[in-house]
Amino acid sequence: MVEFAAKVEQRTGEIFVFGSTPDLRDRFISSICPQVRRTDMGFTFGQLRINEGLDLFLYGLEFSHDYAWELMARKMVAFLALIRWQERESIRYAGRVLEFVCDQFDPLFLICAEVDEESTPLHPHIKDGEINVSTAGRLLFYSPNRADSQKRIMRRLFELLIQVR
């Protein structure tokens, strides 16, 4: 009897992760990806193997107009903008990033609002759900102290990728 090994085509999904502070984005990527590398240039790279045919790469970097966005953004399946819900400047930062990205491209994006559950109680429907920002954008709330909270963001991202794209 002859056995044939099925060749699995390797696919990748690339996601930009912007954070209003480097620690916010690095902590998020580290909570999702078992393999994380940081550079001295402020770049964080995370890899998550979904299965033998699919790897996700999360790129954390500081937002700047200096990057070659037209080259990089076309490869991205999504953008995540991480903010601290209690900080006005953090929310403004996400607005600047998304305004630039949405003006230039047609991205799928999630605004992920970090909340401290003790100091900012949210209605359970909102905290565990989401708010539609546009047809391709959502606002989700998460807790940095709960791994299931970050994983919920990734599950929702997969669901949106299947629906939108």
Torsion from C-alpha of 27, 31, 35, 38, nearest 10 degrees: 0
pLDDT in tens, 2-20: 565 566 677 888 898 988 8
Determine the Cα–Cα distance for residues 105 and 52; give it in Å rounded to an integer. 30
Determine the Cα–Cα distance for residues 84 and 116; give it in Å rounded to an integer. 9
pLDDT in tens, 46-60: 999 888 888 899 998
23-37, 106-120, 149-163, range with the lowest pLDDT: 106-120
Amino acid found at 160:
L
pLDDT (average), residues 24-44 = 88
Residue 29 has pLDDT above 90, yes or no: yes
The whole-number pLDDT of residue 2 equals 59
The whole-number pLDDT of residue 117 equals 64
Q: What is the pTM of this model?
A: 0.79
Catalogue all structural domains in the chain, each as residue range(s) with its CATH number. Answer: 12-164 (3.40.50.300)
CB neighbour list of residue 118: distance below 8 Å, 6 or more residues apart: none
* CA-based torsion, 24, 26, 31, 32: positive or negative: positive
Residue 107 has pLDDT above 60, yes or no: yes
pLDDT in tens, 111-152: 888 887 665 655 555 545 556 666 667 888 888 878 788 888
